């Protein structure tokens, strides 16, 4: 059976037998960096293409269909255009922060990738506080956005950045509480532990209604955290033209664009790990035959399938709903999502203590 675990093990043992441990570690680092950058590039291309096709079909259009097979090379062509474009820095901008901002956003997105298990035993860094690490680092991206908005010396950008700040700070809360409800059930912050605890069924099925509620809250909160419609206030195009990245062009703009999609991928993979079992195949209790058939599908396919399902869900939101207003956005968080998720966490704790889950 195809497995990524075998490949990594083979590389690891070959490196360690050929070189001394320090050099082997350095080479492993290099391989990981190349893989991450490659994943970023591929994700950017695939997700942008996916978004354009999804939006096109929902809007009864065809979408990109000229470059490459059914338009699949369209994003490649767009990237090429962006790379070749002049990266303009406005006159009144704070040059240092302006140039730094896209990289901050990008690096934050890269950092969160570290503890994510992509397949069975295929993980860069199995840190024992994985969930905490992810929630802590993901809230750093707002710094990049604030930096971009402030340094552009543009009022639209500033308004967008400030909106984004208020939004991310408040939605971190309910996202955190939703994540916490699963941590309560598993009793571990380690992402691999959380995946392994879903051996006999995913938490969304095992955790009854509270798990479903926290899943819904999680999806809403992460949509807001990644600045996606209907919470795209930071870049609300009909109000703020392009929000915090109004002044960006060329490759710097492409980095923001890419970071947005990578962030979606990351939050969706966190959602998939916590609620849908990560790379764990679909298992039903003790139906041995069924479970065995499901095991034949490689774990990476399971993982990416779930992640892309969640990404599709978020895209579906974007192309259906109107945008909220800033005060309604905060109302939704503080008056609806936060009370519900706090109550839900209480319920979950009760369930965990009494052992009312499967």
Which residues here bind other proteins, judged by CB under 8 A? 54-55, 57-62, 65, 155-156, 159, 163, 229-230, 232-233, 236-241, 316-317, 319-328, 336
Q: Which is nearer to other proteins, 103 or 317 (CB)?
A: 317
Q: Which is nearer to other proteins, 119 or 222 (CB)?
A: 222
For the CB of residue 337, give the shortest distance to other proteins in the complex, in Å. 10
Task: Give the C-alpha separation, 228 to 226, whole Å.
Answer: 6
For the CB of residue 56, give the shortest distance to other proteins in the complex, in Å. 8
**Residue pair 340/217 in contact by the 8 Å Cβ criterion:** yes
Q: Which is nearer to other proteins, 316 or 356 (CB)?
A: 316
For the CB of residue 312, give the shortest distance to other proteins in the complex, in Å. 9
Task: Give the C-alpha separation, 146 to 295, whole Å.
Answer: 45
For the CB of residue 96, give the shortest distance to other proteins in the complex, in Å. 22
Q: What is the DSSP letter of 319?
A: T
Angle at 57 between CA 39 and CA 298, to 5 degrees: 40
For the CB of residue 55, give the shortest distance to other proteins in the complex, in Å. 7
Tokens representing 124 are: 């860069």
The residues near 206 (Cβ < 8 Å, ≥ 6 apart) are 185, 198, 200, 357, 358
Q: Which is nearer to other proteins, 3 or 249 (CB)?
A: 249
Q: How many CB atoms lie within 10 A of CB 58?
A: 14
Task: Give the C-alpha separation, 171 to 332, whole Å.
Answer: 10
For the CB of residue 116, give the shortest distance to other proteins in the complex, in Å. 28
What is the DSSP secondary-structure string of 262-319?
HHHHHHHHHHHHHHS-TT-----TT-HHHHHHHHTS-HHHHHHHHHHHHHHHHHHHHT
Q: Which is nearer to other proteins, 64 or 102 (CB)?
A: 64
Q: Which is nearer to other proteins, 68 or 298 (CB)?
A: 68
């Amino acid at each position: 059976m195809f497995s990524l675990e075998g490949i990594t093990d083979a590389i690891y043992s070959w490196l360690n037998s050929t070189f001394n441990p320090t050099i082997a570690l350095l080479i492993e680092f290099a391989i990981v960096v190349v893989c991450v950058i490659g994943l970023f590039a591929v994700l950017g291309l695939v997700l942008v293409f996916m978004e354009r096709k999804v939006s096109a079909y929902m809007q009864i259009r065809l979408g990109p269909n000229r470059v490459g097979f059914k338009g699949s090379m369209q994003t490649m062509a767009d990237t090429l255009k962006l790379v070749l474009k002049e990266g303009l820095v406005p006159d009144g901008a704070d040059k240092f922060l302006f140039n730094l901002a896209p990289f901050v956003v990008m690096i934050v997105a890269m950092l969160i990738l570290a503890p994510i298990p992509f397949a069975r035993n295929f993980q860069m860094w199995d840190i024992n506080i994985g969930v905490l690490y992810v929630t802590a680092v993901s809230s750093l991206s707002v710094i990049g956005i604030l930096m971009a908005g402030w340094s552009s010396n543009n009022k639209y950008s500033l308004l967008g950045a400030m909106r984004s700040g208020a939004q991310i700070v408040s939605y971190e809360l309910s996202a955190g509480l939703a994540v916490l409800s699963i941590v309560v059930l598993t009793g571990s912050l380690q992402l691999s532990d959380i995946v392994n605890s879903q051996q006999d069924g995913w938490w969304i099925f095992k955790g009854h209604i509270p798990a479903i509620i926290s899943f819904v809250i999680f999806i809403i909160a992460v949509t807001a955290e990644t600045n996606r419609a209907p919470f795209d206030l930071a870049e609300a195009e009909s109000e703020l033209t392009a929000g915090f990245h109004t002044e960006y062009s060329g490759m710097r703009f492409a980095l923001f664009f890419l970071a947005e999609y990578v962030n979606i991928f990351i939050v969706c993979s966190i959602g998939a790990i916590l609620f849908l079992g990560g790379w764990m195949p679909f298992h039903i209790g003790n139906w041995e035959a069924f479970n065995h058939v499901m095991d034949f599908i490689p774990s990476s396919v399971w993982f990416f399938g779930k992640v892309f399902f969640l990404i599709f869900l978020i895209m579906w939101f974007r192309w259906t709903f109107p945008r909220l207003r800033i005060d309604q956005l905060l109302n939704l968080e503080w008056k609806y999502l936060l009370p519900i998720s706090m109550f839900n966490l209480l319920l979950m704790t009760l369930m965990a203590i009494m052992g009312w889950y499967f």
